[in-house]
Amino acid sequence: MEGFTPVLSTIGGIMIGLAAVGLLYFNGRIAGISGIMGGVLRPQKDDTLWRAVFLLGLFAGALIMLWLHPASFDLRIDVSDSAVILGGFLVGIGTRIGNGCTSGHGVCGVGRLAPRSIVASAVFFGFAVLTTYAVRHLWEVF
Amino acid sequence: MPGYLFVFSSGVLFAAGLALSGMTLPRRSSRSAI
């Protein structure tokens, strides 16, 4: 398997879990990135600053990792820019309709055994598999 | 302010974990799902 790094992945997963649990336990907030971002784009009184601070932390974390472990960013995207933009647009719509994304539903919701998050995660991961199979093997778009 | 410092730290930890766990994805079109 290409790029299989179970130790780093386990450490990364633990770090994501600790961040989500810590934010929920100490601040009572769900670490759902799309929801946090959405709240910044449509600011409400006394509910925007913590979101902006969390997003700043995300950027800082990415910069720190770029410095400490640049291999994490050694990515090569085979699809066109327009496909990436279209994909991001569809993800944005989907996360708004589903009221959460892979972090809010997948990490936090499933971790809390929330039924709607389990259903949401099963649906979007399932359709991600089907979409990937379709565009790469049936239609051979990418 | 300690609350905001913790929120900031959570963001840092989340992104760092994401960067490390993203290493498992295939190189050819690696995109984190989160």
**Are residues A88 and A69 located together in one domain of the fold?**
no
Inspect the interface and report whether the beta carbons of B14 and A49 lie closer than 8 Å.
no
Label residue B24 by pLDDT band (50, 70, 90): very low
Q: Tens digit of pLDDT for each residue in A39-74? A: 999 888 888 999 999 999 999 999 999 999 888 887
Q: Which residues of A touch B4 (CB under 8 A)?
A: 49-50, 53
SS3 A134: helix
Beta strand ranges found along chain B (DSSP E): none
Confidence (pLDDT) at A56: 97
Confidence (pLDDT) at A26: 87
Q: In angstroms, rounded to a whole number, what is the distance separating the alpha carbons of residues A118 and A105?
A: 7
Q: Which of A61, A73, A76 sits opposite B14 (nearest CB)?
A: A61
- Which site among A1, A11, A15, A48 would you substitute to test the B interface, given the most B Cβ atoms closer than 10 Å to its Cβ? A15
Q: Tens digit of pLDDT for each residue in A68-91? A: 988 888 777 778 889 889 988 998
**Are residues A111 and A89 located together in one domain of the fold?**
yes
SS3 A91: helix
pTM over 0.80: yes
Contacts of A44 (CB under 8 A, 6+ apart): none
Q: Which domain holds residue A139?
A: 77-142
**Are residues A61 and A114 located together in one domain of the fold?**
no
Q: In angstroms, rounded to a whole number, what is the distance separating the alpha carbons of residues A141 and B15?
A: 31
Q: Which residues of A touch B24 (CB under 8 A)?
A: 3-6, 8-9
Number of domains in chain A: 2
**Are residues A35 and A12 located together in one domain of the fold?**
yes
Q: In angstroms, rounded to a whole number, what is the distance separating the alpha carbons of residues A36 and A114?
A: 19
